[in-house]
Chains A and B, each alone.
Chain A
Amino acid sequence: MKELTKTRRLTIASVIFVFILVIGFVTFRSPDFVYKLSTKATLEELTNPANIVSPVEAREMINGTKSGAVMIDLRNTYDYNKGTLFGAINIPVSDIMEKEVIEMFDDWQMQSKTVILFAEDQQAANAPWMILRQLGYSNMKVLSGGYAIAMDQYTNGIIDSTDYQYNGERPVMDFAGFIQKMSGGEVVKPNPGPAQIEPIKRKKKSVTAGGC
């Protein structure tokens, strides 16, 4: 009799255990979006010049022989309506992970079409590009400099064609020289940073009394 009640308890416990697992698997939905690139691989992609398209290259890709490129305007609809480049498709940044948009991106990736993203400046297009690139869209590229600089180039011609000139990362002046001049020959050296860091450790609880 005693043995019987115990197996009944065991049965109840096992059924509940399995039931919870079944509920878990039924309600389990795999995430819609998964990073396909690790952070390390993404970092390498950042320095890959093939991901940056200059305005002239973009024009060639759209109009010239290298057909099969799509332009995506990431600015808001208001700016888009005022004017855009080469009949670009307007997808505001907030919409880049909408279902229809992702389907579109998937199609283009299947057709291995180059997709050129641009916004007002390169920095604004960079963040959405990084997300899409990390989601695995290797056909995505960023327009160097962005809309303003591209328009300027198309109307006024190319002024400069070095690599990083449009992304705002070229120093506007010789910083060290400027400081030296202003402070009278004194070179300001950066002093090593603050050491007050508080790394996140595995959370330690106070001693737990274990065992039975």
Chain B
Amino acid sequence: MSKVYIIFASLLILVAFGLVLLPDTEHEDQIPPEALLKEIMNQSRFLSADLIAARIIDEDPSIMLVDVRTAEAYNSYSLPGAINIPLKETLDEEWQPYLNQRGVDVVFFSNGDLFADQAWILCSRLGYKNLYVMEGGLNQWFTQIMQPTVPPDTSPNEDFDLYSFRKAASIYFGGGAPAQSTQDIKGENIQIIRREKKTATAGGC
């Protein structure tokens, strides 16, 4: 046997042994911290309550609301169509198919936006896509949409459009006519302003 073959054989074993010595790199599907920082700087993860209301009214199938509050709070009241993934259970195996998916925009919400944002950061670190946070959470939902305030007379038309949208939405979501209502908007004639729909991002692979 020629010497060359012995050299080749020992080289092969040496290289393979080097592989064993390599430190274990855990290649979890995680985005690096630098990328996570960029993601949290990007405010586009926040969807306004108005936008979400419009999408629910449109029966947009590409939106999935995730209530991160406790099961107790969820059972007492939650947004229509929302599923309950308490913040503590965010990483549980059974919820991963809901959170880690393509084609549906997952919108986290809580009473404020802190807990929802925490769930968002955890899932974003895992590299999940199409995640959003409802800006201001249920508190803003109830103060803005369920009890819209009449804009002052001097406001631009857009504000009045927004107001009538919110008013209509509040009726849609079972809030009835808000107490502060002074405008005579007849229930039948309410035109729900359809917001421009955000196209669902089709996940490419």
Binding site for B on A (CB under 8 A): 7, 10-11, 14, 18, 21, 31-35, 39-40, 42-43, 46-47, 93-94, 96-97, 122-123, 126-128, 130-131, 134-135, 167-173, 175-176, 178-179, 182-184, 186, 188, 190-194, 196-200, 203
Contact = CB atoms under 8 A, between A and B. Distances in A.
Nearest to A123: B114
Contacts of B64: 193-194, 197
Contact of B114 (A96, A126, A191): A126
A126 B120 CA distance: 12
Given A126-B118, A131-B40, 16 more contacts: A14-B11, A39-B125, A39-B126, A94-B41, A123-B112, A127-B121, A128-B40, A178-B175, A183-B176, A188-B77, A188-B80, A190-B67, A190-B81, A193-B82, A198-B104, A199-B101
Interface residues of B, number: 68
Nearest to B12: A14
A169 B98 contact: no
Contacts of B96: 199
A173 B66 CA distance: 20
Interface of B: 2, 4-5, 8, 11, 15, 30, 32-34, 36-37, 40-41, 61, 64-67, 73-84, 87-88, 90-91, 96-98, 100-104, 110-115, 117-118, 121-122, 125-126, 136-139, 142-143, 146, 173-177, 205
6 contacts: A7-B5, A43-B122, A123-B117, A168-B111, A199-B96, A200-B205
Contacts, number: 163
A94 B121 CA distance: 16
Nearest to B25: A30
Contacts of B66: 193
Contacts of A14: 8, 11
Contacts of A128: 37, 40
A178 B103 CA distance: 34
Given A40-B91, A97-B33, A188-B174, A35 B125 contact: yes
Contacts of B36: 131
Given A126-B114, A198-B103, A39 B122 contact: yes
Contacts of A199: 96-97, 100-101
A196 B36 CA distance: 28
List 4 tightest A-B contacts by C-beta distance, closest first. Answer: A168-B112, A193-B83, A182-B176, A190-B78
A212 B103 CA distance: 39
Contact of B142 (A10, A167, A173): A173
A168 B139 contact: yes
B97 A10 contact: no
B137 A168 contact: yes
Q: Tell which of B65, B97, B118, B143 has the most Cβ of chain A within 10 Å.
A: B118
B194 to A, nearest CB: 20
A100 to B, nearest CB: 16
Contacts of B74: 190
Q: Tell which of A21, A123, A188, A191 has the most Cβ of chain B within 10 Å.
A: A123
A190 B74 CA distance: 8
Nearest to B35: A33
